[in-house]
Amino acid sequence: MNKGLKIFGILTSIGMLIVLLQGSIVTKTDSGDGCGETWPLCFGEFVPSSPALATLIEYSHRLVSGLVGLMVVILAIWAVKKLPHIRETKFWALMAVLFIIFQGLMGAAAVVFGHSNIVLALHFGISAISFATVLLLTTLAFEDGKRKPAPRVKMGFRRYLFFVLAYSYAVIYSGAYVKHTGSTYACEQFPHCGEVATFGFQAGVQMTHRIAAIVLVVLLFILFIQAFRYRYESKILAGSGLSAFMLILVQAAAGVAIVYFPDAYLAAALTHTLVITFVFTLLCYMAMIVTRNRAY
Average pLDDT for the chain: 85
Query: Does residue 3 register a pLDDT over 90?
Result: no
115 is in an annotated binding site: no
Domain boundaries in the chain?
Answer: 1-146, 149-295
pLDDT at 267: 86
* pLDDT tens per residue across span 204-237: 888 889 999 999 999 999 999 999 998 888 889 9
* pLDDT tens per residue across span 8-62: 999 999 999 998 888 888 877 776 666 666 666 676 667 776 677 877 887 788 8
pLDDT at 195: 63
Residue 143 in 3-state DSSP?
helix
Tell me the C-alpha distance between 258 and 120, whole Å.
Answer: 21
Task: Provide the annotated active-site residues.
Answer: 58
Tell me the C-alpha distance between 62 and 275, whole Å.
Answer: 23
Residues of the chain above pLDDT 70, percent = 86
pLDDT at 295: 42
* pLDDT tens per residue across span 99-118: 999 888 877 766 666 566 67
Question: DSSP for 74-135?
Answer: HHHHHHHHH-TTSTTHHHHHHHHHHHHHHHHHHHHHHHHS---HHHHHHHHHHHHHHHHHHH
* Phi/psi-derived region of residue 42, left when phi > 0, alpha when psi is between -120 and 50, beta in every other case: beta
Q: Which of 277, 278, 250, 255 is nearest to 265 (CA)?
A: 255
272 is in an annotated binding site: yes
Contacts of 90 (CB under 8 A, 6+ apart): 80, 84
Tell me the C-alpha distance between 198 and 185, whole Å.
Answer: 13
